[in-house]
Structure 1
């Protein structure tokens, strides 16, 4: 899908509404998504935080794992049976925090004035846009709607997080704190599942850090994120549980 981003303004786009829901047809059925240091405290409550290696830069992309198979997002409500109402919401997402890259919808940050001015852009080719349905971007007299103000906050999380996240990962890399992660799972029907290709923060390597290294990470503001990423690994079990819920529903519907 080609994007067609243009500067958002309250004259050209005064009638535009956004279908503020998460659906596979909108491209939300993804296995993982990049996340940022600025949202890590929220992300770690629901998702495993893993690291995808970038061989070109010899670095990593910090990601939230959303599924256990290709093109699978276990947090999309349309993948959950109706009987699990406690996991469903009217926006189509099964938790109360949606990673910023997905929550931003058809919007992105654009830099103007020699890169000094940050402005909101909209993808006019997005299937989320409508003039009949959804949430208005602007008030009748031209001011921003509450929805658009929330989007601006989400974009701020991304914009502020991009640079600090890479610095944080580089600091962890310099201390060799990441290790390959291979997950072998057996689902309730006995079928095996393997997740590989990602790295994770190593609990053993973090435990072996010297006092000086811990102090340096703390001074740079990168120590808390380390423990948040470690704590998030318990959410792998959440993914397994959601996968089994889906599996049980599929089996009962075919019975």
Structure 2
């Protein structure tokens, strides 16, 4: 269970956060939310797939790390083998909360997160001022929150132009086993190519065309994910 609290320099003066990587710090995950604003930064390392939450009818983008829950093929002991980290991973254990009336947005921290550690980086100095580590974390958290708030407009545009298609990926690995990714969507490249100039211009003016191209480009990393799985299995 998460234990969220608003970050407070008095209550959390001596709190420390571990910034090393590893499964023991919560990094053993199959995917993480990625926002369109960061597609260009993460597309070189990860396949970006879209998933629909049927309860909310909201699409989210996911940077994929593996084929099954708890599998992170980019994680090698205490090393994360990629050039960039999705913001949703990089900001942990911080998160955005709101006041009880849903008003001002605040920086919260999950006090039960495994990154809370005695040997980690301090969040506040002896005078209660935020450390550079905390200031950097808050900046990333704000970028993630802004991107998350803007993401529905991106997916609304994809739906408006009928640019989403379901993806079912079935991969036969070197050892003969089969891995599947089911329930995800990708941009329909054929329909994107068929859009008229007015529609493409609209997507460009709204700032959606670049993340669309970045999401498409990221799909080349699916073959790399398969290679990582084969190496993890000792067959590559």
| TM > 0.5 | yes
* SS of residue matched to 1:120: strand
Moved more, 194-203 or 137-146: 137-146
Answering whether residue 205 of structure 2 is matched by residue 219 of structure 1, we say yes
Q: CA deviation at 1:114?
A: 6.0
Which of residues 115, 118, 125 in structure 2 aligns to 1:128?
Answer: 115
1:33-64 residue CA offsets vs partner (Å, 9 max, x unmatched): 21112211112111111111222333422111
CA distance in 2, matches of 1:115, 1:99: 27
CA distance in 2, matches of 1:20, 1:155: 15
CA distance in 2, matches of 1:9, 1:54: 33
1:56-93 residue CA offsets vs partner (Å, 9 max, x unmatched): 33342211111022321111222xxxxxxxxxxx6x31
Where do 1:64-103 residues align within 5 Å?
64-78=63-77, 92-103=79-90
Moved more, 136-145 or 64-73: 136-145
CA distance in 1, matches of 2:56, 2:10: 42
CA distance in 2, matches of 1:156, 1:66: 24
Q: CA deviation at 1:199?
A: 0.8
Unmatched 5+ stretches in structure 1 = 79-89
Q: TM-score with structure 2 length normalisation?
A: 0.92
Compute the RMSD of aligned alpha carbons.
2.0
Where do 1:1-255 residues align within 5 Å?
2-78=1-77, 92-112=79-99, 117-130=104-117, 132-248=118-234
Residues 26, 114 of structure 2: 8 Å contact kept: no
Q: TM-score with structure 1 length normalisation?
A: 0.85
Residues 39, 157 of structure 1: 8 Å contact kept: no
CA distance in 2, matches of 1:19, 1:236: 30
CA distance in 2, matches of 1:13, 1:240: 43
| Cα separation, partners in 2 of 1:59 and 1:5, compared to 1, 3 Å | closer
* SS of residue matched to 1:129: coil
